[in-house]
Structure 1
Amino acid sequence: MKNTTVETAIGALVILIAAGFFLFAYSTSGAGTASGGYTLKAEFDNVAGVNTGTDVRLAGIKVGTVVSQTLNPDNYQAVVTMTIDPKLKLTDDTTAKITSEGLLGSNFVALDPGGSETLLADGGEIVNTQGAVDIWSLISRAMFEGKGSGGDKPAENTAPQTPAPETQPQ
């Protein structure tokens, strides 16, 4: 009987520790911050790498989440709907741009607040936007930009170099 009590106590302790780890992971992940915030929309020409659940950050800190994406049929721009932390008040001249965590990092929406005094209301729209940049097309353009443009030719205003006359030893 004594062994069963010890095993039960150890099992209960393991379950409590596992529950503690779960609560810690949930609270530090920011999984619960998206609900209860206010909604903002922004239109981008390119949202490559942005999906539902993508982080919205201000100064590198997560302040919201992308909750949906749709296509505006009038101008063929991607409309991104975001939920923002209710404690954060953004102005109407805030800029939203899609950027990445590095060369191979995931994309996120970066917010840069402006200096206006007019605040964006729930359901408002961020009009200053910059879409995702395709890093691979930039790299290929930089690698092959000089090809065929005469980059190896000398400048036209330089005089051709002629060899110095040879002198005969006497």
Structure 2
Amino acid sequence: MSAVRTETFVGAAVVAVAAGFLLYGAQFSNVGGDTGGYGLTASFRSIEGISVGTDVRLAGVKIGTVTDVDLDPATFRATTTFNVANGIELPDDSAVVISSEGLLGGNFVEILPGGSPFNFEAGDEIEDTQGSVSLISLLLKFVSGSGES
């Protein structure tokens, strides 16, 4: 009977550790958490490297998350929807840029705040956008020398 108790104890410990990892992973990735905040949309020529769950940052601080990415068949532009945390009011002349964390880093959505006294409301569209820049195409232009002199 001692072997059965030992196996039961070890099995219970393994299940408890696995449950702990699942809870930690869900908490770390904010799965099932309350997103809060308010939604904004923006349309880009290219959103290379951006997908649902990508960070939205202001001054390097995460203030939201991309919640939807879709293609507008009329304009052939990528429309993104993202949440901005409650308490962060963005001026209505702010710009949205897709930025890179570096040569080997991923992309994120960066908000460049404007100076308007009026703020975006939930559901508004940010019209001043700049899509992602392909580092490969920039390197190819540099190597081939096809840039302006």
TM range (shorter): 0.7 to 0.9
Q: Which residue of 2 aligns with 1:69?
A: 70
Larger Rg computed on CA atoms: 1
Q: TM-score, normalised by structure 2?
A: 0.78
Q: Which residue of 2 aligns with 1:155?
A: none
Secondary structure at 2:56 match in 1:
strand
Q: Which residue of 2 aligns with 1:165?
A: none
Distance 1:127 1:53, change over 3 A: same
Q: TM-score, normalised by structure 1?
A: 0.70
Secondary structure at 2:102 match in 1:
coil
Moved over 4 A (4+): none
Q: Which residue of 1 aligns with 2:94?
A: 94
Tell whether the 8 Å contact from 1:34 to 1:83 is kept in structure 2 after alignment.
Answer: no
Displacement of 1:131 in angstroms is 0.9
Q: Which residue of 1 aligns with 2:83?
A: 83
Q: Which residue of 2 aligns with 1:168?
A: none
Structure 1 window deviating more from structure 2 (127-136 vs 23-32): it is 23-32
Displacement of 1:146 in angstroms is 6.8
- Give identity over the alignment, percent: 39
Distance 1:14 1:31, change over 3 A: same
Q: What is the identity, as a one-letter code, of the residue corresponding to 2:110?
A: A
**Aligned pair count?**
148
Structure 1 window deviating more from structure 2 (112-121 vs 11-20): it is 112-121
For 2:39 and 2:127, the matched residues in 1 are separated by 14
Displacement of 1:132 in angstroms is 0.8
Q: Which residue of 1 aligns with 2:108?
A: 108
Secondary structure at 2:28 match in 1:
helix
Tell whether the 8 Å contact from 1:52 to 1:69 is kept in structure 2 after alignment.
Answer: no
Tell whether the 8 Å contact from 1:68 to 1:80 is kept in structure 2 after alignment.
Answer: yes
Displacement of 1:33 in angstroms is 5.2
Q: What is the identity, as a one-letter code, of the residue corresponding to 1:67?
A: D
**Structure 2 residue runs without a partner (length 5+):** none
Tell whether the 8 Å contact from 1:51 to 1:69 is kept in structure 2 after alignment.
Answer: no
Tell whether the 8 Å contact from 2:58 to 2:111 is kept in structure 1 after alignment.
Answer: yes
Instruction: Say which structure, 1 or 2, has more relative contact order (CA 8 Å, 6+ apart).
Output: 2
**Alpha-carbon RMSD:** 2.8
Q: Which residue of 2 aligns with 1:121?
A: 121
